[in-house]
Each structure stands twice: as C-alpha cells, then as structure tokens.
Chain A
Amino acid sequence: MTATARILDEAEIRRSVTRIAHEILEHNKGARDLVLVGIANRGDDLARRLAAEIERIEGATLPVGVLDITFYRDDIGMRAEAPEVHETRIGFDINGKTVILVDDVLYTGRTIRAALDALVDFGRPTAIQLAVLVDRGHRELPIRADYVGKNVPTRRDEDVRVALKETDGEDAVVVEEPAAKRDVPGGER
C-alpha cells in the first residue's frame, strides 16, 4: 500500500490560481510592468495559467517566460551525473519590470535562490515577487513566498508531488508517505 494524501484537487488548484492572480493585481495595483517567469518544470505551466487568469480579470496580456535553474544549482558536482537541463526562454526585457517568479512547490528555498541568481543575469528588475502553489515549509535559506496557494505542513521525509494537466495529464497535489518510497525497488527516484 502506498500512503498518499490528496492535498489539492483540480477545482482547488483552479481556485488557488484565480486567488493568486487577484492578489498579484491587488498588491501591484494592476498589471502594469508585470511579467511572469515560471521555473521549469511545472512553474512555467502555472505561470501561463496565472497569465490567462490575469488576462480574464484585467484584460491585460502579460509576457510569460520559462527559466531553467540547472546551471545555478548549488549541488552540481555532488550528484553522480550532471543534472538534466531544460529550456530557458525569456523573450522580453526584464529591466525595470516587476517579475512574478512562479514555482509549484516551495521547500528548502534553494531553487528560488538559484532562480534569483539566474534572473539577475537577464537584467535588473524593479522587484521580484514569488508565487507558489504549495509551501511545504522546511526552509534552509531566508526566502519566503509573496503568494501561496496552500500551506501544507509536511515532514522532511514526505514527498509533495504536483501534477498539472499540461505536463502530467491531470491536476492534483498529493503528499506521499515515506513508506511509499520504500516500495520502490532500490529506494531511489
């Protein structure tokens, strides 16, 4: 038996995205000079959903970019193989813009640290704000999210998995118990 708990279903994810879109517009007093950058993978899916929501609410079309943080990771050389690289595409100028950085899960904060380093190589934004679907705690760096879909208290040995239609064919957020991991042959993933 794998012990998994469903934290968010399709409707709840949709409501979270809608609420975050409203919060972004409220906090920034509109959509002016906003750009969205999603962290690959799945952060970019969420960034596109947020852009669609903001367009629906405000009628403004925001540019959406995708950022791969692999080259900025702090654990290169600590794994057996070089981490797999994904696409980065930021086809617009971020100088003077407010960048909404989007990711699926906020955990240790190391991914966000890497993303901040990567972003400033593209220019000097006026501000960077962070939106995440799930905050599962256990920060290892002084980083917090500005917009959170759901706070989920977890243990370190649990796994939070986000599935999105664009990448996985369905919308769901689940927490997996460590027992589920032990069922996997070899215990690695």
Chain B
Amino acid sequence: MTVARVRIGVNGGLALLLLALAATFSLLIGERFYAASTLRSMAFQLPELGILSLAMMVTLLKGGLNLSIVATANLSGLTMAWCLTTLVPGSEGVMWGVWQGVSLLAGFAVAALIGLMNGYVIAYLGVSPILATLGSMSLVKGLAIGLTRGDVISGFPEPIVFIGNGVVAGVPVGLAVFLGCAIPVALWLSRTPTGAAIYMIGSNERATRYSGVDTRRVMLKVYVVSSLLCAVAAVVMMARFNSANASYGESYLLVTILAAVLGGVDPFGGVGKVAGLALALVILQVISSAFNLLGLSQFLTLAIWGAILIGATAVAVRGRRGG
C-alpha cells in the first residue's frame, strides 16, 4: 500500500463523514440547517480557527509544533490595536488609510520577530519544538499581559471592522481572507522546493540534511510563516470583536491540533494536506453549528469533537496497518 493511497483514503473518508453528518443533521433539523443565515454564520466563525490551524499545520508537517500561535496572534493583534487607536489621525483622507496600513504592518513585524525567535531557538540551538514554543508562549503572553495589564483595546476605524464583519458579493471578507491564506500555503507546500523540503524534514530530518538541503533555513522559514499566519488570524479576530486582548481565543490552541490531525496531518510530520485540513474544519464547524441549532451546549460540541478525533485517528491507524 502506497502513501498516496492512504492520503486519498483520508480525504475520501473525511468527505464521507461530512456527508453522513450533513444527512443526519438535515433529518434532525430540517430546512433550517441549510438556510442562508446558517451557512453565513458558519462562514463567519470558520476563518479564525482556520487560519490558526494553518499556522499549526505548517509546523506539524516539518515534525514540529507551535504552542505559541494564540499568544502570537494576541500580541500582534494588540500591537495593531494600539497603533490603530493612537496613531491613526482623523476619520478620512489619505493619511487615515496609510496609517491603518502601517498599524497592520507593525503587527506583522511583531509576529515575524516572534517567528524568528522560535525558528532560531529550534533550528539553530536545537531545542525541541514543544519546549521552545512552550517557553515563547509564556513569554509572549506575559509581554501582552504586562504591557496591557490585561486590559482590552477597542474601537477601530471602519475598514478594519469591515474585514471581520463585511460581506462582498455574498462572501464574508473573513472567509475570503482564509482562502487567501489557504491557497498560497497549499501551493507553497506542494509546488515549491521549500514545500518539498518541509515534508522531507518531517519524514527524516537527518537524511534531508545529508542530501544537501539547508534544513535549518527551511525550519526557520516554517516558524516565520507560522507566525505571519497568526498575524493574519489576529487581524480577523480583532476585526470581528472590534477589540484586542491578551487572552482571546485561548481555547483554540488544542483545537488547532485536533483539526489538523483530524484532517490527516501526521502529528510527527511528513504527511498532510491543506485540503484535508479544510475538510476537517468544515466538519468541526458543521457539528458546532448544528448543535447550536439543536439547542445543545457548546461543551457537548467539545466532547463530540474529541470523540470524532479519536474515532477518525483509530480508523486511519487501522487502515494503515491492515491495508
């Protein structure tokens, strides 16, 4: 059995699971499940978790992990929020627009710095990714708490709020932003030498290094890209809530690993595709929205997500062994 067949199997299996869930929920809920408002609310909720999951996924593929994604998103979001509320002059005009751009760039710069730090410690000092990002998670979150004293920064210009809540041609802007991240990341992973090197490092780092790939440089890039994706998630999150805080979205951290693994990403690297992750995200979102419509608690959703993760992984492991 080849690896390629397993991967097709994973995506096919996820599609089947999604169909089964959709059929079950439409029987239970009826018309309301397919109403435009339901689909739209799904489309508004998916992007934050989706972009953060991409940030987690690229590090998982190379055999690493990034526990600092939510902390990075929050610090970069706070940077943007602080700049937006203190630097942006007036309420219209060219400078108004320019300073908003500068504010967002400042957030991205902070995220890039965190990514460089993670990448340097992991790739060049040789610290295990869990330990390094556990430390940087504490450091980055601590900085955010220390600088803001836990306060919320809120009240942004209209164009920023539009990113989180606007709709263009029927498509929520947030969803467009997610696709604008997912498609380039998918192409990066599947069509570029760096992408190929990431999968190779995930399978066997030493063999990749001996075959002439500058593995350290590739790993550094992975952590910088992961951090920059966190900054994109920060923009969406900040825009949707119209505020930023040091401890938003903390429950997303473990859920991003859950989504990636459910989507067929091997938590020890080397295997996984963006399409699988996207399917997994849709599955999680469908369950969450359907439970919401059925009036069931969000905590029950958490429990079902956990059960599906174990079930799907067990089936995948059995398939790989038995096939």
A and B associate: no
Residues of B at under 8 Å CB distance from A? none
Residues of A at under 8 Å CB distance from B? none
